[in-house]
Structure 1
Amino acid sequence: MMAATNGLAHASAHKPLFTFGVIADVQYADIPDGRSFTGIPRYYRHSIDVLQRAVSAWNKQGGVKFSINFGDIVDGKCPKDKSLWAVQKVLGEFEKSDGPTYHMFGNHCLYNLPRTELVALLKMPTGSDRAYYDFSPCPEYRFVVLDAYDFSTLGWPRDHPVTAAAMSLLEEKNPNADKNSPEGLVGVDQRYVMFNGAVGKEQLSWLSDVLRDASERRQNVVLCSHLPLDPVAASQVGLMWNYAEVMAVVRRYNCVKACFAGHDHKGGYCVDSHGVHHRTLEAALECPPGTTAFGHIEAYPDKLLLVGSDGMADTEMCFESSQ
């Protein structure tokens, strides 16, 4: 359900409140091209070129206030002795942007480095080791960045209680010996694989507090997560384990207007039954040389306009009458 604007996003009668850049799943590695487990080509070395072109475009446009990277900054196939070097190389490209970049974990990030090290490297504005946070670029808007691997088998020490509890959930939900395989699972149960994760109870409580405050301030909220939160906007194998629980919190309030995600590389879009827009972003990793996938989003009081490069579809997201 992709809603392309066919260039209409480029022209609006009013000036946006602000503009921000978006890119997802760079998954850089200094290795030859390869394929995903489903056979889709992946361009590990070229993906950093896509990022370079994104940063150049944002800077050339001017007025891009910040950018958001939707996770998987490097690929799991990156040689582990080069993990830190690869992350620093990609971050060096983001740092050439005129505005700050807000990062989040993806599963491939956690294949390479432990979460505590990544929080510091990605300069997450949390004041702690946690990887979820919010920020407000103007009084009318609040951005909420989730840690989709708060409850997962990835990034925590093997003997950590979270690792054990997450593995116990996978044992219950996924009978396969290979917990990264959804074979035999049906419908949304396909999401119970090791490369996904969930938002933990403490984070859910924090989310509710943030949304309550945003609702009282009459702010439009943009929810950002590496893992998608709607089965229509992404493949069912790529969903957050407890997406329904997160959306139940969202629906207590009327402030969340859009949920953006990465992870499911082909991208997707839908509007759910409560009028929330869900946009999964196309991956930089799967752009053949000479092509790109990134965009910028114009934020208005009543809509968001995603203007994409050639591999990322334009999408107009008009808000229902609110709050």
Structure 2
Amino acid sequence: MMPATNGLVHAYAKKPLFSFGVIADVQYADIPDGRSFLGVPRYYRHSISVLQRAVSTWNKQGNIKFSVNFGDIIDGFCPKDKSLWAVQKVLDEFDKFDGPTYHMFGNHCLYNLPRSKLVDLLKMPTDSDRAYYDFSPCPEYRFVVLDAYDFSVLGWSRDHPVTAAAMKLLDEKNPNTDKNSPDGLVGVDRRFVMFNGAVGKEQLSWLNDVLRDASERRQNVILCSHLPMDPGAASPAALMWNYDEVMAIVRQYNCVKACFAGHDHKGGHSVDSHGVHHRTLEAALECPPGTTAYGNIEAYPDRLLLVGSDRMADTEMCFQTM
């Protein structure tokens, strides 16, 4: 386990307020193993076994209140005529968990199915077709699930105004013919590729309202997004397009303690200049047979403790006192 971030021995509460399960980037497909564009092996059929072991472990522990799936439920290489079948096959495994699972969109989800279909399939707790929401498992904590592809070229119809506006932004930021290529882009500008996206204006306003309310209630907030929001916790090409706008809102309040994400399969952890922890979770997809990557997070009044399995690193995230 990683040491406490401030190097001190704390008189921690013995029992967490609650615990929840986490898994990211299952990217299941009934196809032979392959490799990423960087040459990293991908185990498309084995990834569902990682999920099965995660659910079995969470159920055996008996104290996992809910689980969070950080997107990319199936892979973009999944044959389109099998997309619905593959999504349902993965969701059937989540349904074996003895509690609710909260989902979010990933780019691979949107390669396969339209947004409106996914909102229903993933049973997102919203009163509309929007894919962002919040929930509170106990009075001390609030979870905010962002839709990182609210503003993107993925998931919307080709003639939708959002598609046109997002494509215009990409054309301005990325001169490459292949908009999935960050070649020639420098530093965090490498994030302006087609497989990323942004939080739209309406969602930004909603986020501000939620954080204001959480701050007034003195709640600890955990932000969940498929796309990472700190350069220290992910490669530049994996970042949300407007992570800076989101974090500008976060910094108006002191309630956000951690931001969790998927997408960048190798994982990462950083603490930003305002003391917010950023933890990008290691991908289930890149687990060779016999290995796993999932975890459970224990939530205490003053810290979070990620207990990872195998390829998912344990991480202790102590909150800064303000």
Q: Aligning the two structures, in what range does the TM-score lie when normalised by the shorter sequence? A: over 0.9
Instruction: Report matched runs for 1:114-193 at 5 Å.
Output: 114-193=114-193
What value does the CA root-mean-square deviation take over the aligned residues?
1.2
- Runs of 5+ consecutive residues of structure 2 not aligned to the other structure: 5-11
Q: For the residues of structure 1 that align with 2:317 and 2:40, how far apart are their CA atoms? A: 29
Stretches of 4+ moved more than 4 A in 1?
A: none
Which TM-score applies when normalising by structure 1? Answer: 0.97
- Residue 110 (structure 1) aligns with: 110
Q: For the residues of structure 2 that align with 1:317 and 1:99, how far apart are their CA atoms? A: 25
- Would the alpha carbon gap of residues 30 and 5 (structure 1) be closer, same or farther in structure 2, given more than 3 Å must change? farther
Which AA in structure 2 matches 1:277?
Answer: H
On the 8 A contact 1:227/1:262 being kept in 2, the answer is yes
On the 8 A contact 1:5/1:314 being kept in 2, the answer is no
- Residue 221 (structure 1) aligns with: 221
Q: For the residues of structure 2 that align with 1:256 and 1:13, how far apart are their CA atoms? A: 21
Offset at 1:5? 4.9
Which AA in structure 1 matches 2:96?
Answer: K
Q: For the residues of structure 2 that align with 1:93 and 1:215, how far apart are their CA atoms? A: 36
Offset at 1:133? 0.1
- Residue 9 (structure 1) aligns with: none
Q: Does 1:311 align with 2:311?
A: yes
Q: For the residues of structure 2 that align with 1:63 and 1:95, how far apart are their CA atoms? A: 17
Offset at 1:4? 2.7
Instruction: Report matched runs for 1:273-284 at 5 Å.
Output: 273-284=273-284
Instruction: Report matched runs for 1:1-323 at 5 Å.
Output: 4-5=2-3, 13-322=13-322
Which TM-score applies when normalising by structure 2? Answer: 0.97
Q: For the residues of structure 1 that align with 2:235 and 2:57, how far apart are their CA atoms? A: 30
Which AA in structure 1 matches 2:211?
Answer: L
Q: Secondary structure at the match of 1:136?
A: strand
- Runs of 5+ consecutive residues of structure 1 not aligned to the other structure: 7-11
Offset at 1:321? 1.0
Please list the CA deviations of residues 20-76 of structure 1 after superposition, one character each: whole Å capped at 9, or x if unmatched. 000000000000000000000000000000000000000001110000000000000
On the 8 A contact 2:230/2:278 being kept in 1, the answer is yes
Q: For the residues of structure 1 that align with 2:14 and 2:206, how far apart are their CA atoms? A: 35
Which AA in structure 2 matches 1:87?
Answer: V
Which AA in structure 2 matches 1:29?
Answer: A
- Residue 7 (structure 2) aligns with: none
Q: Secondary structure at the match of 2:232?
A: coil
Which AA in structure 2 matches 1:241?
Answer: W
Which AA in structure 2 matches 1:220?
Answer: N
Which AA in structure 2 matches 1:64?
Answer: I
Offset at 1:14? 1.1
- Would the alpha carbon gap of residues 133 and 13 (structure 1) be closer, same or farther in structure 2, given more than 3 Å must change? closer
On the 8 A contact 1:190/1:237 being kept in 2, the answer is yes
On the 8 A contact 2:72/2:105 being kept in 1, the answer is yes
Q: For the residues of structure 2 that align with 1:273 and 1:232, how far apart are their CA atoms? A: 11
On the 8 A contact 2:94/2:101 being kept in 1, the answer is yes
